[in-house]
Amino acid sequence: MSGAMALSAEAGWNQTAADWRIMLELGAGHGLTTVEGDLVGTAVSLPYGPDFGWISMVLVTGRWRRQGLATALLKRCIADLEDKGLMAGLDATPDGARVYRQHGFATGFPFTRWQRTAPLTTGAAAMPVSDVLGPTDLAVVAERDAAAAGCDRRLLLAQLLERGGRAARILPAGVLLSRDGRLARQIGPILADSETVACTLLRDALAEVADPVFIDVPDAHTAIRSILTEQGFSQQRSFVRMMRGPGHSRLAEPGQVYALAGPEFA
C-alpha cells in the first residue's frame, strides 16, 4: 500500500490509503516492480457490471515513463474487463485522451476539476435545506446511482457513505456524497432530478466544509459551475470521459450526474 500511495502522491493525486483499499477490494490491481522490489507502475480495473467496468490509477513513476509500462498496464486492465464481457471506461486528461484513442477508446463528455483552498467567510451561513446523508441511506443512494451509471455500485457506495460527514447531503430529489482525501475533501457524486436540486445540495455541503475541496463537474452543468465561481473555486484541470467498445454512447452524456465520484471510481 505504501508504494501505491507514493505513486499517487508523486502524481499529485488526491487518493488516500482507504481509496486504494476500496479499489483493490472491489477490483484487480496490477503493479510493475524493479528487480529490487520497488513499485514503479500501477493500474486497477473495477468490474462494475452488468456491461461495463472502470480503469483507474494508471501510474508510472517519473524515471520509468515513456518505456511502454503504462500501455502494458492499460492492456492488462482492458483484458480483465473484456474477459468478463464488460466494456471498459476511464477518465482521461487531454494528453491521456490522445493515447487512449489509439487503444480504441471513444470520447464522451468533458468535465473539469474545480478546487477551493479555503471557505468564504463573508455573510452568515444560510440554514440548510437538506439533511445529512449517512450509511442508513444506502438503498436510496444505490438506486439513484444505478439509474445514472447503469450498474450496481452498492459495495463502493457503502464504503464512501462511511466517510461522508456532515458534507454528505440528501433531499427527496437528490443525494450528494463526500469523502476525505489526501489533499482535499472530494465532493461527489451528486445525483439529482434537476440542476436546481443539485445546486441546493452543493450549497448545503459547502457550508459544512472548512477544508480544501475538490469537485469534478461535467462542463454541461453551467449552474453548478456558476455556484463554484461564486464560492471561490478555480479550475484545476480538465478531463474527458472515454469508453471502449459497443454501447459507449450510453455514457456519452452526464445526464443527472451533476458531479462525479472522481476519476478513480467513475
pLDDT tens digits along 31-51: 988 888 788 999 999 999 888
Q: Domain range holding 19?
A: 2-106
84-99 mean pLDDT:
93
CB atoms within 10 A of CB 13: 18
Residue recorded with cell 465532493: 187
| CATH number for the domain that contains residue 59 | 3.40.630.30
The pairing of strands 39-46 and 169-171 is: unpaired
Give the chain's mean pLDDT: 92
202 shares a domain with 185: yes
250 shares a domain with 127: yes
CB atoms within 10 A of CB 89: 24
Q: Let me know if residue 121 belongs to a domain.
A: yes
The pairing of strands 185-192 and 174-179 is: antiparallel
67-73 mean pLDDT:
91
- Burial of 128 from C-beta contacts in 10 A (0-12 / 13-18 / 19+): middle
Listed residues 49, 71, 106: the one ending a domain = 106
Cβ atoms 178, 167 nearer than 8 A: yes
138 shares a domain with 53: no
179 shares a domain with 63: no
Confidence (pLDDT) at 62: 84
pTM: 0.94
pLDDT tens digits along 157-177: 999 999 999 999 999 999 999
191 shares a domain with 176: yes
24 shares a domain with 127: no
For residue 145, name the pLDDT band (cuts at 50, 70, 90): very high
